[in-house]
Amino acid sequence: MGFGDNLRSKSALAANRRDMDVGRLGLELVETVHNAETEIIVYLFVDADARLDERGRRRLIIAVRGTDSQQNLMSDVTCWSSSITLPHALRLSEHGLLELMVQSKVHTGFWAAYRSVREKLLAAVQRQSTIFGGKLHIYATGHSMGGAVAVLSLLESAIVLRKEQPGLTLYNFGAPLVGNLSFRNMYALPPH
């Protein structure tokens, strides 16, 4: 079996989803976002027991699978820098976000990987926010390239849901550097 062959077909993806034993962790898989061309897979989980945090928010976990295929490996090694455009940030001028976005450069392969699932992922996050009345604490996580895509997804989720003021937490494992100093400084801005 070659690198990533376990996820080559839709039926394999479905089997991978079924095999996840997240119930014992108190989680429920609510959505999966997958791009067949880039083989990026993102899972969205919520607490199965309707648990709330100290601010009355539900936990939404965005988990991005790390490098697992030749397509993923190509994203990893496509490493020159690209300018980014976050359409939801174009309407914002507060806190210098627009200026920082214009100056930001990110790893081209990670940016392309994120863009391949971006619209579906943001729609899924917005659906979950609507279901839970805007009261979410978003945790994004991933390993390797999945960590890099998690960084990008958490930033844009924060911008999209800025009025709801979600809690934001990033847990990554072995994640590479995603962007330059201007990109990093976008994380230091208030999310709303």
Q: What is the mean pLDDT of residues 127-145?
A: 92
* Furthest CA-CA distance within the chain: 51
Q: How far apart are CA 57 and CA 15, in angstroms?
A: 31
Q: How far apart are CA 123 and CA 134, in angstroms?
A: 14
Give the model confidence (pLDDT) of 17-38 as tens digits. Answer: 545 667 677 889 999 999 988 8
Q: How far apart are CA 174 and CA 162, in angstroms?
A: 28
Q: Global pTM? A: 0.80
CB 64 within 8 A of CB 32: no
Beta bridge mates, 184: none
Residue 106 — very low, low, confident or very high, per pLDDT cuts 50/70/90? confident
Helix (DSSP H) and strand (DSSP E) numbers for the chain: 6, 7
Share of the chain above pLDDT 70, in %: 69
CB 110 within 8 A of CB 178: yes
Judged against a pLDDT cut of 80, whether residue 134 lies above it is answered with yes
Give the model confidence (pLDDT) of 143-169 as tens digits. Answer: 988 999 999 999 889 888 888 888 899
Q: How far apart are CA 132 and CA 189, in angstroms?
A: 25
Beta bridge mates, 136: 58
Q: Which numeric CATH code is attached to 5-188?
A: 3.40.50.1820
Best CA proximity match to 183, nearest among 124, 119, 91, 110 = 110
Best CA proximity match to 173, nearest among 149, 135, 146, 155 = 146
